[in-house]
Each structure stands twice: as C-alpha cells, then as structure tokens.
C-alpha cells in the first residue's frame, strides 16, 4: 500500500535525521511519480505528500492537469530539459533540478515570467554517461548566471553512481555538500545555494546523513504496486 510505504519512508527519514542530529523538517520528500499514473499519484497526495516530481515535460504537464484539484502541490522537474521545451514547462513548475548549461539558462531567462528556483546538477562521480557540470567548472558556471534575473540557484543536485558501495556513494554526497558550502560562502545574490537535492530510493538515508535537504524518491513509494 502506498500509504504504508510513505509511513515507512517518513520513519526512515526521522531515523536518519536522528542519527546525525538533524531536524527532519529540514528534509523535503519529493515523490517521483514518473512510474505511476495520476490515480496512484493522487493516492500519495491524499496520504500527505505535497511535492511531486517527473523527469519528462509532457508527463509532468499531464499529471499537473489531472491533479489540478490539488493546487497546493509543488511540482519539480528532475530530468534533463531540452531547450525547445522550456517554454512549455518553465511557468508550470516550482523547482527545476537539472540546470547544467548556460544555453539552457538563457532560454529559461527568455521564457520565464517569474524567477525559477533551480538546482545546478553536478557530475560529482565524473561518469561519462552522466549529465551535470563538473566540480571544477561549478564556480565559473555560477558566475556566468549572475545576469540572468529569472534564475535563482537554490542548491546543487547530484545522482549517485550506479552499483557503487555505500562508502563511494557517501563520498559523492559528501563532496556535493562541500561544494554547496563553498558556493554559499561566496554569498552570490543569485545563488544562495542553501539546498542539496540528493538521494533516491536506494540511498536516501545515506544522503540525509550527508546533508540532503531534498530527497527524490520513486520506487520505494510504489513498491508493492510494481511487484504485482
Ligand atoms: C527516477 C528518478 C529518481 C527516483 O528514483 P527511484 O530509484 O525510483 O527512487 C530520482 N531522481 C531522478 C533524477 C530520477 O530520474
């Protein structure tokens, strides 16, 4: 049951926070609904979730429309965004988690009616297949965004490497936190960079221990449904 899965995850969040003396209120559960239909997503909303994420523009727009009787939901786009789709989505979402190029940022600047909360995606693990800015390029990239008034860099986002050990994953998350702290110290007006979007079903507990403030959880919320 979805409601039971949610309860368990909320308990896990509390346990991980307790382990490192963090306040669970600092951690926002973003429910990734990409693998389920709108009815299942609504079940989750009724159970108390108020942040939903999709990784594709068309799917997010569809779900948002299907769930328009829940206007308080915050919508997160977590997947990579093609420039030609920016105009369709940019005024429909509350957060964008995968900003990784200046050209994309410029398109957002052109199309957004108000400032958009963005996470810059960082490829901490350095895997070739991964999206994201390399850690070396992060500060110059952030500086290049300074004149784009519609972009507010609220934080950094990363994905842990696949099939990595807990230690390796922890290291990736820890590095993202160090980068976040470094950026925060710069006190860039357009990049307060207080947040860390990291951790998915397999590794959100590690992510919380390493400082995550937004965790993006899909499979673990819908487990039994998928096994049926
Ligand atoms: C699918 C997805 C998630 C959620 O993954 P689960 O393993 O299902 O929890 C999180 N972040 C991104 C970017 C995704 O694409």
Q: Which domain holds residue 93?
A: 1-221
Q: Is the pTM of this model over 0.75?
A: yes
In a domain, 121, yes or no: yes
- Dist CA 105 CA 2 (whole Å): 36
In a domain, 197, yes or no: yes
For ligand 1, say whether the CB of 79 is within 6 Å of any of its atoms. Answer: yes
Alpha carbon of 140 to ligand 1 centroid (Å): 28
In a domain, 212, yes or no: yes
pLDDT reported for residue 130: 84
In a domain, 227, yes or no: no
Distances in Å between the Cα of 81 and the Cα atoms of 54, 71, 86, 99 are 11, 24, 7, 8
In a domain, 36, yes or no: yes
pLDDT reported for residue 204: 98
Alpha carbon of 73 to ligand 1 centroid (Å): 19
Tell me how many domains the chain contains: 1
End-to-end CA distance of the chain: 11
Q: Which atom of ligand 1 is nearest to the CA of 97?
A: 13
For ligand 1, say whether the CB of 207 is within 6 Å of any of its atoms. Answer: no
Which mutation among 5, 131, 200, 201 tests ligand 1's pocket best, with the greatest number of atoms within 8 A of CB? Answer: 200
Q: Which atom of ligand 1 is nearest to the CA of 34?
A: 1
Distances in Å between the Cα of 17 and the Cα atoms of 106, 196, 205 are 37, 15, 9
In a domain, 228, yes or no: no
In a domain, 42, yes or no: yes
pLDDT reported for residue 226: 47
Kindly give the confidence (pLDDT) of every residue in the chain, 228 residues in length, as a single tens digit, with 9 standing for 90 and above. Answer: 899 999 999 999 999 999 999 999 999 999 999 999 999 999 999 999 999 999 999 999 999 999 999 999 999 999 999 999 999 999 999 999 999 999 999 999 999 999 999 999 999 999 888 899 999 999 999 999 999 999 999 999 999 998 899 999 999 999 999 999 999 999 999 999 999 999 999 999 999 999 999 999 999 999 874 454
pLDDT reported for residue 228: 43
For ligand 1, say whether the CB of 221 is within 6 Å of any of its atoms. Answer: no
pLDDT reported for residue 227: 52
Domain harbouring 201, CATH code: 3.20.20.10
Contact of 196 with 215, CB cutoff 8 Å: no
pLDDT reported for residue 18: 98
pLDDT reported for residue 219: 97
């Amino acid at each position: 049951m979805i409601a039971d899965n949610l309860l368990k995850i909320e308990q896990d969040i509390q346990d991980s926070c307790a382990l490192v003396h963090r306040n669970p209120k600092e951690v926002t559960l973003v429910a990734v609904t990409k693998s389920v239909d709108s009815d299942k997503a609504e079940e989750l909303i009724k159970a108390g979730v108020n942040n939903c994420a999709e990784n594709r523009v068309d799917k997010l727009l569809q779900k948002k429309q299907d769930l328009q009787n829940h206007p308080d939901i915050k919508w997160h786009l977590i997947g990579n965004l093609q420039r030609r789709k920016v105009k369709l989505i940019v005024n429909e979402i509350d957060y964008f988690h995968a900003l990784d190029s200046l050209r994309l940022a410029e398109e957002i600047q052109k199309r957004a009616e108000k400032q958009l909360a963005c996470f810059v995606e960082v490829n901490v693990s350095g895997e070739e297949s991964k999206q994201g800015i390399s850690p070396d390029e992060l500060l110059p990239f952030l500086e290049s965004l300074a004149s784009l008034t519609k972009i507010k860099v609220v934080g950094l986002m990363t994905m842990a490497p696949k099939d990595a050990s807990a230690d390796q994953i922890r290291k990736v998350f820890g590095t993202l936190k160090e980068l976040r702290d470094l950026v925060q110290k710069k006190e860039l007006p357009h990049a307060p960079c207080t947040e860390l979007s990291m951790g998915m079903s397999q590794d959100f507990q590690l992510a919380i221990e390493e400082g995550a403030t937004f965790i993006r959880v899909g499979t673990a919320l819908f487990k039994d449904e998928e096994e049926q």
